[in-house]
Amino acid sequence: MSRTGSPGPWFAAPVAIFMLLCFAGPILIVTWFSLMPSRTFELTAAFTLENYVAAISDGYARPMMWSLLGAAITTIVTALLAWPSAIILHRYAGRWATLVSALIALPIFISESVRLFGMSVFMMPRGGILAGSLNAAFGIEIGSILNTWNAALVGMIYIHLPFMLFPLLLGVSLIPADRIEAARDLGANRWQVMREVELPLAAPGLMIGALLTFVLCLGANAEAAILGGRAVTVITAAIEQRFNYAQDWPMGAALTVGVIAITAAIVLPVLSRLDLNRLTKR
């Protein structure tokens, strides 16, 4: 079939229409609402920027910074944990790699809230598994990290580690063994092999894992609510409060647009450098 008669556009049309209606449409409506006067429930032409001014001046910068900082720390820590795990699974696990990968992926199929409440029991100062085990075995009394910033971070790392590990495992599989052997034959040490050979070749998988982890963490709310308690307020909690409790949809929409803009500013430059054809071996 010639290029002019290619059925590709027709096959892509349903997906394009679906994305326009279910992705671009809601973003357009939310952006429109963000320009409405405060506590307005109808879309009109009375545009104002007061909601964006309030988003900057009314104390919402702190929840936004916590969300960005928590997402960045979680992304870095999960990458540091996932790199050696991916190397071991790919090179040394052998026939056990599938079983280990399945065990790592298994918690994803369990409700996130259930897992986080389980972690909260684990972190309790009295009656908690961690405190009770240390006290029984070594006589060590520890305080609780529950309802703290650190507890929320631990929860985010635990929940999002698989989203970093599996793309990174795909990236590690792109590293040819002969490249590593050649680098070692030329006198490269372990650090040089990782820096000059492994990291550049596994970079597509690492970038996808980092994007997934960062974006999911930026929108995370359960970890802060269940493990962080009142000590932690993230931007998603502020958005929920404006929409549901304060009934201030324009303010909630302005905060939502801010999160979308920040996410796009971080994600789009990374995606522009990502070679998906190489990652999928096309």
Q: Record the pTM.
A: 0.83
Specify if 12 maps to a domain. Answer: no
Q: What is the DSSP string of 40-71?
A: --S--S----HHHHHHHHSS-HHHHHHHHHHH
Specify if 17 maps to a domain. Answer: no
Could you tell me the pLDDT band of residue 135, with boundaries at 50, 70 and 90?
A: low
Name 105's Cβ contacts closer than 8 Å, sequence gap at least 6. Answer: 162, 166
Each residue's pLDDT tens digit, 39-92: 888 888 888 999 999 888 888 888 899 999 999 999 999 999 999 999 888 887
Could you tell me the pLDDT band of residue 1, with boundaries at 50, 70 and 90?
A: very low
Q: Average of pLDDT values for 2-31?
A: 81
Specify if 88 maps to a domain. Answer: yes
Report which of 199, 221, 224 is spatially closest to residue 210, judged by C-alpha positions: 199
First CA to last CA distance, the chain: 22
Specify if 117 maps to a domain. Answer: yes
Check whether 281 has a pLDDT greater than 60.
Answer: no
Specify if 36 maps to a domain. Answer: yes
**Which CATH number covers residue 148?**
1.10.3720.10
Check whether 200 has a pLDDT greater than 50.
Answer: yes
Specify if 190 maps to a domain. Answer: yes
Domain that holds residue 123: 25-279
**Total domains in the fold of the chain:** 1
